[in-house]
Every structure is written in C-alpha cells, then in structure tokens.
Structure 1
Amino acid sequence: MMGFGIVMPVIPFFTERLARATGFSGKNIPLHVGLLTAIYPLMQFLFAPLWGRQSDRVGRKRMLLIGIAGSAAAQILFGVSTSLWLLYGARAFGGIFSAATLPAASAQVADMTSVAGRARGMAWLRTAVGLGSIAGLALGGVTARKDLHLNWSAGHFLVDGFSIPFFLAALLMLFALGIAALWLANSSSSHPAPDGDEEKPDRGWIAHRAIRFALGLTAGGQFALAVFEGTFALYAQKRLGYGPVQVGVVFMVCGLVMSIFQYLAVRFLSQLLQPLHQIVIGFMLMGVGQLILPFVQPPLVLLAVGVIGFGMALVSPNLAAQISRLAGNRQGQSLGWQSAAESTGQVAGPLVGSLLFSLYARLPYLLAGAFLVGVGASAAFTKSAKVRGARNADG
C-alpha cells in the first residue's frame, strides 16, 4: 500500500511536469491523473484472484516475497520515468505485483486466526495496510522537492527531486523483503468450509449470495473512497491552493484515522453492534464526510476527511472478516476476489471522479456522498428484510 499511497500527493505535480515536457496539453492533466491512479488497481483487479489462488497452492510466503520484490522494482522505475508512457508502464507493473501481496497477507491472517477472532485479525492487518499508506503519503508529500538541485539523466531515465520518495519506498520494501524472507513462516489454509459447502466446487463459491453481497459492498465503498483519493489533490490545488506537503498531510490524517480506528472500532464496537450494523454506520459516515467536504475550508477540511476515514475503518475489516468466514478452505481465492472487488472500485473511482471534476470541482464529492448514503441505506434495508423474513418463517 505504500506504493499506492506515495503517488497520491505527488501525481498531479509529477504528471503536469512530464506532460508539459513531452508536449501534452495541460487541459488533459486531470484525465491523465485519473488514468494513472486507476491503472494500478486495474492490474490488481486482473491479477489478485490469480495470485490468491496460487497462494492456496504454493503457500502465502512465496507470493508475499514475489509481490514485495516486484513492487520495489516498480517504485524504482516510476522514480526514473521521463515520460507519461513510462509512468503508465511503471504503475501497471507495480499493480501486477502488489496484487500478490494483500490477498496472501489476508489469507495468512485467516490461517492463523479462529473464526471468532477473524475480524480482530483482519482489523490488525488493515491497520498495517493503513500505516503503509500513511508512510507512502508522508514520503510522497514531504520528500518530493521541486527546489532540489538534483538532475541526472541517462537515456530515457531521469533522477531529480521527484525521484526521492520512490527510491526511499523501494529501499523500505527491500528491507521488508529481507525480513519476510528470514522470519516469516509459511502457511496454507486449514479452515473447513462453511456448513453445507464442503463439497461445493470452486466455481460455485462466488455464487454464494452473502459473498456476492459482501463483494458488492466492498467494491462500492472503495469506489467512493477512490473518487475522493483520485481527485482531492486536484481539488486542493485548484480550490484550496495546496501543494504536495499540504495534500500529503490531509491524506495522512485520513489514513491515520482509518488505521487507528480499524482496530479500536472492531475490538470495542463488536461487543455492542453486529458487523452489518457497523458497516451501515460506516457507509453513512463516509457519505456525510464527502457531502460536507466541498463546503468547508481549512482546518475543517481535516474534520471532513477524518469522518471519511472513520467510516471506512468500520466498513473494511468487517467486510474482510465476513468474506473470510464464508470462504472456508478457499482463503487465498476468496480474499483475492475481495482484493479484485476493491480494485474494481479503485479503478472506476478515479476515472469517474476526474471526469466529474472536469465538469464541476464539487461534483465528485456530492455524488459520491449521495451514493454512499444510498449504499448504507440499502444495506440496512437488506438486513431488515432478512430479519422480517426470519420472524415470519418462525411464526
């Protein structure tokens, strides 16, 4: 997730510089920002189920090592790119290999936890993912320097002030690679399938209604979050006068809130509220945060973003735990599908958001907020309908 986060504060400024250097029109910069943001999760969408299924066969550790090594190489390539086409290639390469990491890590957690402790384990994992995003946002926002007198070129590659955060990210990834290679234990699934599903073939797993419902909510939540993530740097640059550092701070606040409350909310609220109730509240909070975002000025921008992050903290670990619980002995495959669902939203969000932003700067947040409130209401209605149906059946 550091690879995804590190680009967010920098990408509008990096893209603008390369676009102007290679003769692209400045009017197309929002489109390229959206496409560069989207191509990373698009590759995750295509490859996460494949990597996840492979982790069920060969173990989680090997997939994690492959994913980390490939992601480090992608960061280096991104940092030395001198054209938009090289940026696209580096982002696609990074998305392919990052797709091996999260499904394998999620499956490793599922292998090591009981069904009762699954939500807590997933919350810890999502907290780690959030911290990775925060580290990426910090590196991207603070270390990308326009004023640094660093300029070294070789053929189609260039090292300058914008290269520093990507090189630092690659170095940290290589450090993590060494730790994982030396100390991470391998695992494979040992969980039984849900009741009545022991003989269900793999093709039938995705037909499970509850699985489809959870995957749909996953895609919807990530779509709306990606609308915010994919357009806020443009919005902040145009409407708030922010630079990379200020944009990085805002993203860090969002990631920090998500990281802290993913664990705290699941640990304490799980004693008071059922997972679906937490998910509904989370969607509602995300919607409110997006709706108020375009109408506030600093420092209230941080409050709106914090509400978005807190809502996602309720949604993400509970959905991951629900999908894992229903997966049985197909942990890698199921969590690969969840990663693909997240990537679906992350692909569509920046593209739709950048298109809406080109029409009216506030429009992405207004529509995304309304969409989130609608999804939350729909999930609540579905839960109520199930309860009424169960009561009628008992009666």
Structure 2
Amino acid sequence: MSQSDTANASAKRILLLAAAAMGFAQTVLFAILAPLGREVGLVEVQIGAIISSSSLTLFLVSPLWGRASDVWGRRKILLIGLFGYSAGTVMFAGVFQAALLGYLIPLTALILLIVTRVANATVMAAVAPSANAYMADITSLQDRVKGMGAIGAAGNIGSIMGPAVGGLLASISLLTPLYFSVVLTLAAAFLAVFVLPELPKPQVIKKPQKLKYTDPRIFPLVIAGVLLFMGFAIVQQTIAFRFQDQLGLDGTQTAKIVGVSLMFSAAAALFVQLVVVPRLKFRPFALLRISMPMMMVAFAMMALGHTQEMYILAMCILGLGMGLAGPGFMAGASVAVSSEEQGAVAGLAGACPPLGFTVGPLLGTYLYSVDGALPYWFAFASYFFLFLFTLRYRSTK
C-alpha cells in the first residue's frame, strides 16, 4: 500500500468516526427532546420550533461552510464543526438543566433553547459538507456512491448506538445522553486533530466555486432532497408523541421505546447501505425512485397502527427506504458537477436535509395537534408526489 493509500485509509476512518459521532448525537436528541420538552412545560409546536429554528440555520449556513472548505481546507472546517457542536450542546443542555430545576419559566426556557440551538447549528453545519467533500476528494468517480454510502453507514452505526446507549443513560436523567454525546464528539475532534491528514492544496482559485440551487444539473435533486427529508423529519419529531399518547407512557419510558425504534430504523438503513447498495448497479437517482414506495408503506402503518410492534415495524421499513435514498441523493449531487465544485455541491446538498427539517417539525407537530395520524398521511401524500416526480426525471449519470 502506498503512502497516499495509507493516508486516504486513515482519513476515511476519521471521517466515518465523525459521522458516527454525529449520528449518535442526533438520534439521542430525537429520542429525548419530546419528553424532555414536556417535562419543562413546552407544548408540541414549541418543541418542534426548537428543531425547525436550528434546521433553518443549517440550511442557510451549510453552503457557506461548503464553499469555505474549498478555500480553507476540509480538515479545518471539519474541526470547527466538531468542536463547535460539542460546545453548543453543553450550552443547550445547560438551559434544559436550569429549566428542570425551576430557574426558568417555560417561555424563557423556550427562547434560550432556540438561541443556544441556533448557535450550535451555526458551527455544526460545518461537519457534513466538509466530511462529504473530503470523501469526494479521496474517492474516484466510480467509487463515489460507495464512499458516500460508507459515510451514511457510519452515521447509521452512530444512530444505532445513540438510542441503545441513550435509553440506558436516560434512566439516570434525560440530560445524561446529551452530555455523553459531547464526550463522543470531542473524542472524534481530538482524533481528527492528530490523525486526519491535510489534503494537498488545490490549484489556486480566485473565488470559490459557487452553485445555485436552481442549477439545472442539481435542481431535481434539490427538490427530491428537501421533500425526502421533510417527510423523515415529520416522523422523527412526532413519533415520540405518538408512542407516549397511544401507549400511555411517561417521559423516561417514552425515551426508551423511541430509542429502541430509532435503533431498529438505523440498523435497517445500515444493512441496506452495507449489504444492498454496494451490490446495486443503479444510478443514484434510481435509488431514490426505489425507496419511495417503501417509505409510503411505513407512513401508512404509522397512521393506522395502535401498537408498539406496529410502530417499530414501520420505523424499520422507513429505515430500509432511507438507507437507499440517502446515498442516492448525496452521490447524485456529487457526480452531477465537476471536481472543482465538490465543496460547493456538498454545501448545497448538505443544506437540503436542514431545509426539510425546518419545515417538517413545525408542520408535523401542528398536524399532530389536530390529529395524531394526520402527520403521517401528509408525509404519505408528499412522497407519492415525489415518487411521480422521480418517474418523470431522467438522470444522465
């Protein structure tokens, strides 16, 4: 193995570790946020507003971090994101701690939670575009789907561990999983400091490549990505309410069962990304097309089901669909543009999930306040139209 191959192998391990740490942090938050919010006196829409505000921030700043990685380097931007996320999570958890102790009234707590989460998201947004652009830099065009799938798989490993470990730590307190996620993210950051190689500087470019969402090469993927993650966000933000209300659970019990369902969902996605995607020879957009009917079935089961087993099975099916859709979306965006535009396209592609998560939580929690099944029927309808869109679109790569 050449020195270059050894450096690339080390880089891939660090990128996968960073993705796993972020996957852990995200699933831990989704498992505990709903019961934790109710514990401090917040209602469903207010809890959804916390996620939506941070997701809007991610949407706005992710392209900036993607272009910055073209100029400052992938490694530097990745480190900013990892260390910044760790510091921001400590502040976010501290506000919840103060509210639980009675030092903050619900309205004050809501304002401070949004402020700290937005600050956290501003720097956290640096992780995904820099990691994906780094992976694009060290993989060939033929291996791009596999490389993006590996990052997705690593994120899903973290997503499996997050609910499993978080459910155990929630027995200590609902905030303990958040503090533990900080430890993991800091560990990934320090390893990146000492192990992650700095990529050779690209040829000097006066201005970083700038892409628009309306660029015809990626616009269809932008539409697909936003709708894809909007539906997924609706589920992630409301499934805890669904479990708690339908099964009559308290906050700790809800965190545990939601953790189990997210763990199975992530495990299903991981299986697809490790076993199925590498063996498929489909074009990236075709993976999106295949995933839509599977996830529509999951939404229907969530709307019609009334048992724990039905909800967990639906989450597993949803995970299978997302396991196909995620690599298809990221790889499709990457192969659509030139090598000089990888940072820019990674930023735009990385902004699509946050935009979906800006709309999804607010919309989902509002619909849930009207009727518990309504968010899932809405997601079903959205994916039906997305499926029709994918049938009309013909990709060339």
User: Above 0.5 in TM-score?
Assistant: yes
Letter in 2 for 1:366: W
- Are 1:76 and 2:78 an aligned pair? no
Corresponding pairs, count? 354
Q: 2:67 aligns with which of 42, 53, 60?
A: 53
- Are 1:279 and 2:293 an aligned pair? no
Please state whether the residue corresponding to 1:162 is helix, strand or coil: coil
The match for 1:322 is 332
The match for 2:299 is 290
Larger radius of gyration: 1
- Are 1:264 and 2:264 an aligned pair? no
Conserved? CA contact 1:189–1:331, under 8 Å: no
Letter in 2 for 1:178: F
The match for 1:95 is 121
2:323 and 2:63 mapped to 1: Cα distance? 24
Q: 1:361 aligns with which of 369, 372, 377?
A: 372
Conserved? CA contact 2:211–2:344, under 8 Å: no
What's the Cα RMSD here? 2.2
Letter in 1 for 2:247: L
Please state whether the residue corresponding to 1:93 is helix, strand or coil: helix
Q: 2:219 aligns with which of 201, 212, 221?
A: 212
Letter in 2 for 1:74: G
**1:322-367 deviations in Å (ceiling 9; x for gaps):** 1111221111111111111111001101111001001100000011
Letter in 1 for 2:85: S
Alignment of 1:105-144 (within 5 A): 105-144=131-170
1:115 and 1:189 mapped to 2: Cα distance? 20
1:366 and 1:63 mapped to 2: Cα distance? 39
Alignment of 1:1-395 (within 5 A): 1=22, 2-19=24-41, 29-81=43-95, 82=98, 83-145=109-171, 148=172, 161-187=173-199, 202-203=209-210, 206-242=213-249, 243-270=254-281, 273-296=282-305, 297-328=307-338, 329-383=340-394
After TM superposition, give the deviation of residue 205 of structure 1 in Å: 5.6
1:230 and 1:100 mapped to 2: Cα distance? 23
Larger deviation: 35-44 or 173-182?
A: 35-44
After TM superposition, give the deviation of residue 47 of structure 1 in Å: 1.1
**1:138-164 deviations in Å (ceiling 9; x for gaps):** 34333123xx5xxxxxxxxxxxx2331
The match for 2:6 is none
Letter in 1 for 2:86: A
Conserved? CA contact 1:12–1:29, under 8 Å: no
1:49 and 1:224 mapped to 2: Cα distance? 22
Conserved? CA contact 2:34–2:237, under 8 Å: no
Conserved? CA contact 1:53–1:333, under 8 Å: yes
**1:275-322 deviations in Å (ceiling 9; x for gaps):** 332211101211111112222223132221111111111111011111
Normalising to structure 1: TM-score of the pair? Answer: 0.84
After TM superposition, give the deviation of residue 136 of structure 1 in Å: 3.0
2:352 and 2:257 mapped to 1: Cα distance? 30
The match for 1:390 is none
Please state whether the residue corresponding to 2:378 is helix, strand or coil: helix
The match for 1:154 is none
Percent identity over paired residues: 27
1:15 and 1:93 mapped to 2: Cα distance? 19
1:58 and 1:302 mapped to 2: Cα distance? 43
The match for 1:194 is none
Residues 206, 35 of structure 1: alpha-carbon distance in 2 compared, 3 angstrom cutoff: closer
Conserved? CA contact 2:229–2:353, under 8 Å: yes
Please state whether the residue corresponding to 1:80 is helix, strand or coil: helix
1:140 and 1:362 mapped to 2: Cα distance? 27
Conserved? CA contact 2:90–2:182, under 8 Å: yes
Conserved? CA contact 1:56–1:189, under 8 Å: no
Conserved? CA contact 2:31–2:258, under 8 Å: yes
Residues 100, 201 of structure 1: alpha-carbon distance in 2 compared, 3 angstrom cutoff: closer
Conserved? CA contact 1:120–1:263, under 8 Å: no
Q: Which runs of 5+ in 2 are unaligned?
A: 1-21, 99-108
1:133 and 1:350 mapped to 2: Cα distance? 19
1:124 and 1:301 mapped to 2: Cα distance? 27
The match for 1:156 is none
Conserved? CA contact 2:299–2:377, under 8 Å: yes
Larger deviation: 203-212 or 230-239?
A: 203-212
Q: Which runs of 5+ in 1 are unaligned?
A: 20-27, 149-160, 192-199, 388-395
Please state whether the residue corresponding to 1:318 is helix, strand or coil: helix
1:231 and 1:34 mapped to 2: Cα distance? 9
Please state whether the residue corresponding to 1:176 is helix, strand or coil: helix
Please state whether the residue corresponding to 2:235 is helix, strand or coil: helix
